[in-house]
Amino acid sequence: EAGAQPSAQEVAARVERHYNRVETLAADFVQRYTLGRTTLVESGRVYFKKPGRMRWEYNSPEEKLFLTDGKYAYLYVPSEAQVRRTPLKQAPEWQAALALFLGRAKLRRLFARLQLVSVDRADSAVRWQLRGTARSEKQGFHHIWFDLNQRYQLLRLEIQQLDGSLVEFHFRRWEENPALATGLFRLRVPPGTAWIDEGGS
């Protein structure tokens, strides 16, 4: 078994099992958005709690908060004093890859094709790279790459979108099952903050 190479389907199943067992997660993240020659790099801390809750605290280069409570996604930018609220069911389908952390993503259903690359480099914590191809253009992306370590934890997620842009998330210092209060996933903003509903209510 030691020398046997698992299939892409087996690795996908192991990743799903890993995150199905975890109730809460926390990590540091770096997010890169590249379109043409322009790259925007942001970083912060992210928290996940089942069912359906995420909190992305961006602290560089600008403070902002992206939060989901299971029903809506909220983007709060303090410098703009406004909140944008979108029904989760209208979120881009590539974000379904993030539902992996909430034990909800079925990678084998999300993609038309899964490929596996074994990464065997002494200088890298990455052990596997799983590559998924979109089922249709309606999903809003072409490919998604998952870089995984030996424990099937996700270290990097890269999404190639239809407009040619790349969105990349690098995760470090994963904590599994930390104690996270439900209040962490409730949006609290100062009085006078403007609320903008996007995509209906």
Distance CA 139, CA 94 (A): 7
pLDDT given at position 106: 84
pLDDT given at position 20: 92
pLDDT given at position 103: 83
pTM of the predicted protein model: 0.90
- Digit-coded pLDDT (tens) for 22-44: 999 999 999 999 999 999 999 99
Listing DSSP states for 132-190 in one string gives EEESSGGGSEEEEEEEE-TT--EEEEEEEETTS-EEEEEEEEEEES----GGGGS----
Distance CA 104, CA 20 (A): 8
pLDDT given at position 122: 75
pLDDT given at position 3: 60
Is residue 179 packed enough to be buried (19+ CB in 10 Å), middle (13-18) or exposed (0-12)? Answer: exposed
pLDDT given at position 23: 95
pLDDT given at position 201: 47
pLDDT given at position 19: 94
In tens digits, the chain (201 residues) has pLDDT values of 456 789 999 999 999 999 999 999 999 999 999 999 999 999 999 999 998 899 999 999 999 999 999 889 999 999 999 999 999 888 777 777 888 898 877 888 889 999 999 887 777 889 999 999 999 888 889 999 999 999 999 999 999 999 999 999 999 999 999 999 989 999 999 999 999 998 754
- Digit-coded pLDDT (tens) for 178-200: 999 989 999 999 999 999 998 75
A 10 A CB-CB count for 194 gives 10
Residue 10: its H or E element: helix 8-20
pLDDT given at position 200: 58
β-pair type (194-197, 82-87): parallel
Distance CA 71, CA 85 (A): 10
Cβ contacts of 4 within 8 Å, gap of 6 or more? none
Q: What radius of gyration do the chain's Cα atoms show?
A: 17
